[in-house]
Structure formats: structure tokens, C-alpha cells
């Protein structure tokens, strides 16, 4: 059973129960959206486990930063402002030096994202971090289910850097500038909070890229009940990885790699100039990579119109067989 099948079979059925009117969005998106005292709040939770989401021996300050940043990225996908964070830590033993560095990373990300650590839990066990984020939906929350026929599909930033970094994790010695850059993309992703808030009024749907572009765009297609066509040559491959991997590997990493924590979204083409201007002013590229039409699923096409099937473009799935 795959992760999506697990959620659909055992958790989505909760939607068959009678949800209170103050629940605007339940299970199945980057965050739930609830109304508290007349204010819309986005609520998400993420868990990171050693050997799955991070490697043994990762610098604890990078781990602290990454744990918070990846969780806060869900707020960017919802166009919410992160406000409060709780953190649960499972750890085998308490080593003061390790804990000091871990907390420094946590503090750095929380300060950068202008939110607050307000609680949590600690237990003895295998190394694992759980992070809950509560954000404020100042404008309309954006869901995966809002893509419309004839929308354009766009993505922020560049893709493939974090996946490329995996082959260099844990290496000794001073890394080259390009390797150092991709390691930074993996260890310290940048949640696109401010950019998403500026794009909010023009978005119809959105998702953050955690499991891979094709997989995550597939969530928008599925929940919007639409087909999405991506153009391979339009996908913004991180230019820093060209010296580290082959062209084919760079393409695969950008399409299916995950861990980039950029925002993929759809919008009406009449807003293209405004969206392009927002990207230029933020100094973050925003690239149109596809279109939305009737149908279902995701196709990756070449500019010549052929279907691009060179790679198995399935992104990360916790329960997929690794055999």
C-alpha cells in the first residue's frame, strides 16, 4: 500500500463524519484550515525520521533548521503566515553539545520566518522530530483543489538542487562551491512565505514541492479533477547542478527529486504579467511550466509534443517498495 492509498483508505473517511462548520478544510491538503474566533487558521504537522528524511551524522544545527523550514513550507502553500510552532523530539540520549546546536538551528529558522516556538514534547527513542505549525490566513487560503481549465502552471525558484545534494551528504573535506550550494538547498530550504502572500490573489491552486514536481502536481490534478500537462524543457533546472550531474540526471532530479520546497501553483493567464513582476521584484524566478485542461493525471511533454517517458517520474513515497 502506498502513502496516498493509506490516507485515502483510513483517514479520508473521517470526512464522512459530520465536521463542524468551523472546519473549512480537513484532511488532504498541505494544512487544515479552521475558524477560531472569526479568524482563519492553517494547521499542519510534519514528522522527520532519521534514515528517511535525514541522514545519520547530519549537523544538528542543520537538522534543527531543516525540521522547522520543511514544516513551515506547508504554510507557504496555503498562503498563510506561520505564527506558532510546537516541536516534539524523540532522542536516544541527551548530549548537551548536540542539543545546543540543534536548538540554534531551530532558533535561526524560527527567527527568519518570524514565528514562535510555544510548546512541544520530548521522549526517549529513535531520533525523530515532529513539528506542528499554526498560521494565520490573512487572505484567502489556497487549496490543491482549485485548478481551473485553461490555467497556466508555474513554479517558483529552481528545481533539482536538493535531490542532487543526496550524493554528497556526509562527505568529508571542503566541498566545492557548487556542492556547497546544493547541500545548502537540502539542509536549509527557504519557505516561500512572503512570495506566496504576494501571489495569493492570483493563485487558483498551490502545493509545496516536497515529494517531487510530478508527484506533487499530480495532487493538484487529482484534487482539482483536471489534467495537467508539463513541458519538460520549461522546468527550471537549478543551474548549479549542471557541473555535478549529467543533463539527463539533472532533468530527472528536477522532475522527480523533491525536497526543493518551492511552490507550484496554477493561475489564470490574464495575470501572467503581474505574476512575472512579483517574481522579478522578489528576485525569485517564477516559471510557467505547463497548462491545465479537462481530464485527469499528469503528462510530461517535450516541446515537440511527444510524451516524455524516459524516466520513472514517481517522486518520494514513504511506503513504496525500495526493492
Residue 57: pLDDT band with limits 50, 70, 90: confident
pTM for the structure as a whole: 0.90
Bigger pLDDT: 322 vs 272:
272
The Cα 288–Cα 266 span in angstroms is: 9
Assigned superfamily of 3-136 = PurM-like, N-terminal domain (3.30.1330.10)
| Residue 323 predicted with pLDDT over 50 | no
Contacts of 145 (CB under 8 A, 6+ apart): 29, 205, 220, 223, 224
- Residue 296 neighbours by CB distance under 10 Å: 12
pLDDT digits over 207-262, tens only? 999 999 999 999 999 999 999 999 999 999 999 999 999 999 999 999 999 899 99
What residue segments make up the domains of the chain, in order of their start?
3-136, 144-301
Report, at the CATH architecture level, how domain 144-301 is classified: Alpha-Beta Complex (3.90)
What pLDDT, on the 0 to 100 scale, is given for residue 261? 97
CA 266 to chain centre: 15
Task: Quote the mean pLDDT of the chain.
Answer: 90
Answer whether 3-136 and 144-301 agree in fold.
Answer: no
For range 10-27, the mean pLDDT: 73
Amino acid at each position: 500500500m502506498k502513502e496516498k492509498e493509506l490516507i485515502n483508505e483510513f483517514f479520508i473517511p473521517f470526512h464522512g463524519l459530520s465536521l463542524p462548520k468551523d472546519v473549512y478544510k480537513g484532511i488532504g491538503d498541505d494544512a487544515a484550515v479552521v475558524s477560531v474566533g472569526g479568524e482563519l487558521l492553517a494547521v499542519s504537522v510534519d514528522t522527520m525520521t532519521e534514515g528517511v528524511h535525514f541522514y545519520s551524522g547530519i549537523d544538528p544545527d542543520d537538522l534543527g533548521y531543516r525540521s522547522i523550514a520543511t514544516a513551515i513550507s506547508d504554510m507557504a502553500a496555503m498562503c498563510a503566515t506561520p505564527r506558532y510552532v510546537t516541536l516534539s523530539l524523540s532522542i536516544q540520549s541527551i548530549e548537551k553539545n548536540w542539543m545546543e546546536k540543534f536548538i540554534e538551528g531551530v532558533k535561526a529558522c524560527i527567527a527568519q520566518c518570524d514565528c514562535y516556538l510555544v510548546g512541544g514534547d520530548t521522549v526517549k527513542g529513535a531520533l525523530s522530530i515532529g513539528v506542528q505549525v499554526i498560521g494565520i490566513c490573512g487572505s484567502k487560503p489556497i487549496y490543491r483543489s482549485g485548478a481551473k481549465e485553461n490555467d497556466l502552471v508555474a513554479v517558483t525558484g529552481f528545481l533539482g538542487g536538493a535531490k542532487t545534494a543526496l550524493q554528497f551528504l556526509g562527505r568529508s573535506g571542503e566541498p566545492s562551491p557548487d556542492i556547497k550550494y546544493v547541500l545548502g538547498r537540502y539542509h536549509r530550504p527557504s519557505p516561500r512565505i512572503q512570495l506566496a502572500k504576494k501571489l495569493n490573489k492570483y493563485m487558483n491552486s498551490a502545493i509545496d514541492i516536497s515529494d517531487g514536481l510530478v508527484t506533487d502536481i499530480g495532487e493538484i490534478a487529482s484534487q482539482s479533477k483536471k489534467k495537467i500537462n508539463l513541458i519538460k524543457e520549461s522546468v527550471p533546472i537549478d543551474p548549479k547542478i549542471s557541473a555535478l550531474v549529467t543533463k539527463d540526471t539533472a532533468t530527472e532530479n528536477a522532475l522527480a527529486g523533491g525536497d526543493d520546497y518551492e511552490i507550484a501553483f496554477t493561475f489564470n493567464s490574464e495575470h501572467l504579467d503581474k505574476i512575472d513582476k512579483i517574481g522579478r521584484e522578489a528576485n525569485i524566478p517564477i516559471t510557467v511550466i505547463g497548462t491545465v485542461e479537462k481530464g485527469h493525471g499528469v503528462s510530461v511533454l517535450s516541446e515537440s509534443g511527444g510524451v516524455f517517458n524516459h524516466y520513472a517520474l514517481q517522486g518520494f513515497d514513504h511506503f513504496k517498495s525500495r526493492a
